[in-house]
């Protein structure tokens, strides 16, 4: 291993923690920047350290699961509780909660999410591509005038 690669047994756990904080997933460059190495080093570590490669696969699977669950919830609809808090200055000048209103809100199923879910889960029945078969003979007739062109 080249000098300055800074490998230690805590790297896989560090990658898992980074992924837990990340909302959008991690690229090799983001991991390299966080750990303080080059992207090439990250690629070498994937080959040389199975536990590191496993950590990357696990974190990507976790993030994919989150996205899949969110897509599913958008497809079927869901409800959530919204809390509105009104604050006003108290006698000591600090903000004091004077009113709290809780409302249950409903998010209706989203047609785009439904379509994406079905297209990916049951492509044979829901994909956009239509296959058309032609059967029988095709006969072309040309006039003599057309043949001279």
Q: To 5 degrees, how large is the angle CA 63–CA 65–CA 69? A: 120
Nearest-CA neighbor of 32 among 4, 73, 68?
A: 4
Residuewise pLDDT in 10s, the chain (149 residues): 444 467 777 777 777 777 666 555 677 888 888 888 899 988 888 888 888 888 888 877 877 888 899 999 999 999 999 999 999 999 998 999 999 999 999 999 999 999 999 998 888 888 877 777 878 887 877 777 766 65
Number of neighbouring beta carbons within 10 Å of residue 52: 21
Is the whole model's pTM more than 0.75, yes or no? Answer: no
For the chain, what are the domain ranges? Answer: 11-123
- What separation, in Å, do the N-terminal and C-terminal C-alpha atoms of the chain show? 73
Nearest-CA neighbor of 75 among 26, 128, 126, 144?
A: 126
């Amino acid at each position: 291993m080249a000098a300055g690669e800074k490998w230690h047994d805590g790297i896989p756990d560090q990658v898992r923690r980074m992924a837990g904080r990340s909302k959008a997933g991690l690229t090799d460059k983001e991991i390299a920047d966080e750990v303080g190495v080059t992207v090439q080093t990250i690629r070498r570590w994937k080959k040389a350290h199975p536990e590191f490669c496993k950590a990357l696969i696990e974190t990507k699977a976790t993030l994919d699961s989150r996205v899949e669950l969110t897509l599913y919830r958008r497809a079927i609809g869901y409800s959530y509780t919204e809390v509105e808090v009104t604050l006003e200055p108290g006698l000591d000048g600090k903000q004091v909660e004077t009113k709290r209103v809780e409302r249950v809100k409903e998010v209706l199923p989203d047609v785009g999410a439904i379509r994406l879910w079905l297209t990916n889960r049951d492509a044979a029945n829901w994909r956009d591509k239509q296959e058309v078969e032609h059967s029988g003979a095709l006969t072309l007739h040309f006039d003599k005038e057309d043949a001279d062109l």
